[in-house]
Amino acid sequence: MNHPVQPVQNEGLDASALRQQLEHNHVAAFGWALSCCRGQGTDAEDVLQNAYFKILTGKAQFAGRAEFKTWLFAVIRKTAIDAHRRVLFRRAWLLMFALRREPDEPFEPSGAGANDRQSMQELFQRALAGLPPRQREVLHLVFYQQMSVQQAADVMSVSVGSARQHYERAKRRLHVQLSASPVFHESGLARSKTRPAV
């Protein structure tokens, strides 16, 4: 039987409170890890596990300056960036030996049996994956995690103004990408224009 690891003391949080907070935010954290890993489930699990590892070993310590969720998301983001960097390095290394990565498949809506909702969701995922990382992140944090732009800026370690710009550009860009598909027009999203964020 494994004994639980005593986490390094975090600001105002003992071991059980820390575990409780992690468990409470686990599903949302997985969603965020998925977003940081461009929807790759296994990568997201690894990133999440590594982030928990950092927290349990005290490499990442909660100083209490932000909300726990904001801090946790920042740790996950940093972990995902590190993991992505390692992958890039490995890929560059492999390229030196003339191994080429297969190009991404172009988007084609699901076959005749698939419903509109699924097609729209696939289109949406593709369009989202096509956004620059910061734009994708801010949209995810605001819409998916229902954070404010300020909280998103804290997670992304950027100023609120910068986060707001990313947010507006992301919405515009997503709109342009989605509107290029007939599935989007059928969904009714094309009928109105976006308004600036509050």
Residues that bind another protein (CB under 8 A): 2, 4-5, 19, 22-23, 26-27, 30-31, 34, 41, 45, 48-50, 52-53, 55-57, 117, 120-121, 124-125, 139-140, 142-144, 146, 171, 174-175, 187-189, 191-195, 197-198
- What three-state secondary structure class fits 13? strand
CB 90, CB 4: distance < 8 Å: no
26/91 with CB nearer another protein? 26
67/122 with CB nearer another protein? 122
Token look-up 């509050």 returns: 198
CB 123, CB 181: distance < 8 Å: yes
Tell me the angle at which helices 68-95 and 26-36 cross, rounded to the nearest 10 degrees.
30
59/95 with CB nearer another protein? 59
DSSP 10: B
97/127 with CB nearer another protein? 127
Least separation in angstroms between residue 192's CB and another protein is 4
Cα–Cα separations (whole angstroms), residue 80 to 21, 38, 76, 127, 184 = 20, 10, 6, 21, 31
Closest residue by Cα to residue 70 from 162, 7, 148: 148
Closest residue by Cα to residue 56 from 85, 16, 29: 16
Least separation in angstroms between residue 45's CB and another protein is 6
Least separation in angstroms between residue 38's CB and another protein is 13
Least separation in angstroms between residue 23's CB and another protein is 5
What CA–CA distance (Å, rounded) separates 64 from 33?
22
What CA–CA distance (Å, rounded) separates 51 from 53?
5
Least separation in angstroms between residue 31's CB and another protein is 5
95/150 with CB nearer another protein? 150
Chain centroid, CA 14 distance in Å: 28
49/110 with CB nearer another protein? 49
Least separation in angstroms between residue 62's CB and another protein is 16
